[in-house]
Amino acid sequence: MEKGGTGPSASIEEFREVLKGSRRVLALCGAGLSASSGLDTFRGAGGLWKNHEAVTLSSVEGFKRDPGLVWLFYSYRRHQSLLAHPNPGHYALAALSRKMEGFLTISQNVDGLSQRAGHPPEQLKSIHGSLYDVKCSNDNCTYIDKNNYTDPIHPILEITSEDDPRLASSKNSVKALAAYLDPNVKTTTIEQEDLPKCPKCNEGLLRPGIVFFGEALPEEPLNEVDKWIEEGKVDITLVIGTTAKVYPAAGYVAQARARGARVAVVNTVGSDLGAVGSLRNEDFLFEGDAAEILPELFKPLIGELAETVRGENRS
């Protein structure tokens, strides 16, 4: 809806004017930001992974049951993410961060593409962890290795195909499923003694540094976001590639509104927007690919993105 109509505006020029007069801007990013980089979502990972429930592949219980299977899943996701490139949306957010001191991005993504696009770390809060963080599974150990892009992180975890023979025992046949659920039947994909151990405590297995289902989100970035929001008026809240249905992400939209923020949604579809579904006349709704829209929205402040950046994700 262009300026002067009812409902949220779709005017790029109007948004640019608001942005130029803004001092504090909050961005909330989801999987849609990375869509143009060619990454599948969790449920779109394909192949044998579709035969597993989330609790099997991404939970503390699943890791205890078969840490090798969980590691192979995340090692494959790491490998696929490293083959992908940050897209112009990632670079536009990073560029705006460098231009605007009061710009903060909250990312629900674990793919590491924002970091690889050069997003200033102090202005990026990853509330679901990262595929490239590795930490100890021992609750009493504080070891964490951040931004480890070694692929694979351990030779035994090398996996470049969903047809890896180590996954055969976890196929979703009735026989295999029955065996997997039987605690008396050995179906682990990699022996625990062969998996990487923590170099600090020498006791716990290393594990992916993402937030497993059922785990609490990391307190440090959550506290930093809450503190940032409470520090003063928020001019704009950008909601990019997410429906913001899950807390605490959904709550940040309401918190920012309470601080005076106008909401700007960038999403491939303009319906079923979760926490931002009730957009007002003074808000914005841009339907389309974030990789195309964000560079245009930010252009007065960041200028033209280099052609090499715009084309990198097509190479």
Structure confidence at residue 311 (pLDDT): 52
Structure confidence at residue 44 (pLDDT): 45
Structure confidence at residue 163 (pLDDT): 75
Structure confidence at residue 247 (pLDDT): 76
Question: What is the C-alpha to C-alpha distance for residues 130 and 220, in angstroms, rounded to an integer?
Answer: 14
**pLDDT tens digits for the chain (315 residues)?**
444 457 899 999 999 999 999 999 999 999 899 999 987 655 444 444 566 676 778 899 989 988 998 999 899 989 989 999 999 999 999 999 999 999 999 999 999 999 999 999 999 999 999 999 999 999 999 999 999 999 999 999 999 877 777 776 555 545 445 555 555 555 567 889 999 999 999 999 999 999 998 899 999 999 999 999 999 999 999 999 987 767 787 789 999 999 999 999 999 876 665 556 678 899 999 999 999 999 999 999 999 987 546 555 444
Contacting residues for 170 by C-beta, under 8 A, at least 6 apart: 48, 51, 52, 66, 69, 176, 180, 187, 189
Structure confidence at residue 1 (pLDDT): 45
Question: What is the C-alpha to C-alpha distance for residues 241 and 34, in angstroms, rounded to an integer?
Answer: 8
Structure confidence at residue 6 (pLDDT): 73
Structure confidence at residue 45 (pLDDT): 45
Q: Any idea which residues carry the catalytic annotation?
A: 128
Contacting residues for 68 by C-beta, under 8 A, at least 6 apart: 166, 188, 189, 190, 191, 192, 194, 195
What are the Cα distances from residue 312, in Å, to 33, 83, 309?
A: 15, 12, 5
Structure confidence at residue 43 (pLDDT): 46
| DSSP reduced 3-state for 190 | coil
Distance between first and last Cα of the chain: 35
